[in-house]
Chains A and B, each alone.
Chain A
Amino acid sequence: MESVRRKPLKVLAVASGGGHWVQLLRLKEAFVGSDVVYVTVDERCRSQINGDSFYVINDGNSSTPWGIFLMAVKMFFLVVRTRPDVVISTGAAPGVFAIYWGKLFQAKTIWLDSLANVERMSLSGRLVLPISDLCLTQWPHLEKPDGPVYKGAIL
């Protein structure tokens, strides 16, 4: 076994279902050497990660206030329990809470806005822009001096 210089960093990687989750998985390579905790909204996604920690929270969006509230509370306790060094999300609502709670506990925060937003940054992205330490867009024309930066896309 290789000697380890320091404890691996803990990365909380959060996405809601469908395209958000698929985009998050395409960042796996960037997490090499870290201790990753994945969070999404569908238990069946567990088989797509290789033995990393995995948690499921309920889904919700702006039209389901109760779901959003529950999601916020659950995400809070998940952040307390896992105490990540870094929080990263590709959206949508669960990622917003993860970034806010992560920030509260002094984690570094990374947002990668979904490819699905070509015209302007997603609502979730605009909500986390002020507090994310690294805010990325996947479309070059959406890069702004005071907004997200473009460093490439996941396809």
Chain B
Amino acid sequence: MIFVTVGTQRGFDRLIRAVDQWGLVTDRHELFFQINNGEYIPKSGSWVRELSPDEFTKTIERADLTIAHAGIGTIITSLELSKPVIVLPRRAVYGEHRNDHQFYTARKLYEQNKVILVEDESDLDSLVNEVAMASSLGGRFTASTSPTLIKTINEFINHT
């Protein structure tokens, strides 16, 4: 199953439409969409507007791959479960977010091999390739909190 998610704040029709159109053409994968208050309703799979944090985690766990906006919550949850995640950053120019921070974050995380980045939804061919590639990537993606960070905070708390 491929999980497509736009997060907790607002819709992201550009992502849903792109994956849906790809899904309708290929018709090979089970797709599940979380679309928030988006207007575009996907036809290539089932969909919901919202998931509870628990349901969200369980869905990522169940999915072979997640395709998402470049939200940190989605990215970390995928990495915690060692699941590959393809991200399409929200862009300010399309009114999808107030600025382009998702784009810059996604680029950095892509450089660190944490996410697969699709910068333009018209790169559907490459998206398809990424998907095919990603299905053999299980376990490559991981998240680990810096021990130095934990130690710094823990010591700061306890030296009150």
Using a CB–CB cutoff of 8 Å, the interface residues on chain A facing chain B are 9, 11, 17-23, 26-27, 29-34, 42, 44-45, 47-48, 85-86, 88, 108, 110, 112, 114-119, 133-134, 136, 139, 151-155
The yes or no answer to B108 lying at the interface (CB within 8 A) is yes
Flag if B9 contacts A23 (CB, 8 Å): no
- With a cutoff of 8 Å between Cβ atoms, the chain B residues found around residue A44 in the complex are 52-54
Flag if A30 contacts B153 (CB, 8 Å): yes
Flag if A27 contacts B150 (CB, 8 Å): yes
Flag if B9 contacts A18 (CB, 8 Å): yes
Flag if B156 contacts A118 (CB, 8 Å): no
Question: Residue B73 contacts which of A18, A31, A133 (CB distance < 8 angstroms)?
Answer: A18
The yes or no answer to B26 lying at the interface (CB within 8 A) is no
The yes or no answer to B104 lying at the interface (CB within 8 A) is yes
- With a cutoff of 8 Å between Cβ atoms, the chain A residues found around residue B79 in the complex are 155
Flag if B77 contacts A22 (CB, 8 Å): yes
Cα distance, A108 to B72, chains bound together (Å): 27
Decide: A151 near B53, CB < 8 A? Known: A85-B160, A110-B153, A119-B101. Answer: no
Cα distance, A44 to B150, chains bound together (Å): 26
Flag if B153 contacts A19 (CB, 8 Å): no
Cα distance, A27 to B52, chains bound together (Å): 21
Cα distance, A44 to B50, chains bound together (Å): 12
The yes or no answer to B122 lying at the interface (CB within 8 A) is no
Q: How far is the CB of B66 from chain A (nearest CB, A)?
A: 14
The yes or no answer to B7 lying at the interface (CB within 8 A) is yes
Which chain B residues numbered 54 to 69 have a C-beta less than 8 Å away from chain A?
54
Flag if B104 contacts A118 (CB, 8 Å): yes
Question: Residue B76 contacts which of A26, A31, A33, A88 (CB distance < 8 angstroms)?
Answer: A26
- With a cutoff of 8 Å between Cβ atoms, the chain B residues found around residue A88 in the complex are 153, 157
- With a cutoff of 8 Å between Cβ atoms, the chain B residues found around residue A45 in the complex are 53
Cα distance, A19 to B74, chains bound together (Å): 7
- Which of the 9-residue segments B17-25, B40-48, B123-131, B141-149 touches chain A? B141-149
Cα distance, A34 to B160, chains bound together (Å): 12
- With a cutoff of 8 Å between Cβ atoms, the chain A residues found around residue B102 in the complex are 116
Cα distance, A151 to B156, chains bound together (Å): 13
Cα distance, A133 to B159, chains bound together (Å): 12
A sample of 11 more A-B contacts (CB under 8 A), given A27-B145, A29-B154, A155-B79, is A19-B74, A19-B75, A19-B76, A22-B72, A26-B145, A110-B153, A117-B101, A118-B101, A134-B153, A152-B145, A153-B145
Flag if B105 contacts A116 (CB, 8 Å): yes
Flag if A27 contacts B153 (CB, 8 Å): yes
- With a cutoff of 8 Å between Cβ atoms, the chain A residues found around residue B114 in the complex are 155
Q: How far is the CB of A68 from chain B (nearest CB, A)?
A: 16
Name 8 interchain pairs, CB-CB below 8 A, sorted by A.
A22-B77, A47-B53, A86-B156, A118-B105, A151-B152, A152-B152, A154-B145, A155-B143
